[in-house]
Amino acid sequence: MALPFFTFFLIFLVPSLSNADWPPSPGYWPSSKLKSLNFWYGYRNLWGPSHQSFQQNSLKLWLDRTSGSGFKSVKAFRSGYFGTSIKLQPGYTAGVITAFYVSLSNSEAHPGFHDEVDIEFLGTTFGKPYTLQTNIYVRGSGDGRIIGREMKFHLWFDPTQGFHHYAIFWSPKEIIFLVDDVPIRRYPRRSDATFPLRPMWIYGSIWDASSWATENGKYKADYRYQPFVASFTNFKANGCSAYSPARCRPLSASPFRSGGLTRQQFHAMIWVQKYHMVYNYCQDYKRDHSLTPECWH
């Protein structure tokens, strides 16, 4: 009688243990509601054209001693869902940033006063995981005197082993960051002063940020390991463009047309933050939180 019980144990208990490090299902998958976008229809090279190629339905950007590379959407949006699937390079990538973000013309149109919402992968050293950094700059807080709103995560999977989908959902009410449709962060609009409201473009890039990217600049980019390559595919961008009529209705990251998260999505987000978040600016006692009043709420 012991053998059948042991078999039952293996079948039902062991799989539950193997899934213990994965987030609970969000129950809703917003990326599945949107069609993939042909890269050349929605984006253009911004810089480093010689360090960019399109192969097997994926865009490759790379960084070496001479240059990195980046792309930019052909139109600006005032709200929407912006996502792409990314595969990162394994091994030594310290100092290297792979980024997907939305920005108010990347400070070109409004130098010293731009808005930006970032998903950034901070390069790492051998044997250590990548750090996914989410950040929000509002009205020049990323220019000059930096006032970042960083939350950082070590993911529940290895982002170098395959493509995973990363997305920014931005509406007039909130910003939600998603990984494989799992919400990892929600930034609600508390006030106009702490929320980006002007039209923004979508960007992607790979570049050398040795001065700060890996353990606050302790480890620098080592070009003995060049080129550093990031692959992008499955581009998704939908929402109200800067020139859409006023009646254009913002998308939602949940089944609720009014926005927000379902209880199941919220539960998944809290799980990620409990087990995989490694930094929250609101919990950093060294920060001057008079500059980030949303932390008081």
3-state secondary structure of 102: strand
108 among known catalytic residues: no
**Predicted TM-score of the model (pTM):** 0.91
Over residues 44-74, the pLDDT tens digits come to: 999 999 999 998 789 999 999 999 999 999 9
Catalytic residue among 108, 116, 150, 174: 116
Catalytic residue among 108, 120, 174, 215: 120
120 among known catalytic residues: yes
Distance CA 189, CA 215 (A): 30
At residue 76, what is the residue type? A
Q: Exposed/middle/buried for 225, CB within 10 Å: 0-12, 13-18, 19+?
A: middle
Over residues 103-119, the pLDDT tens digits come to: 985 545 556 678 999 99
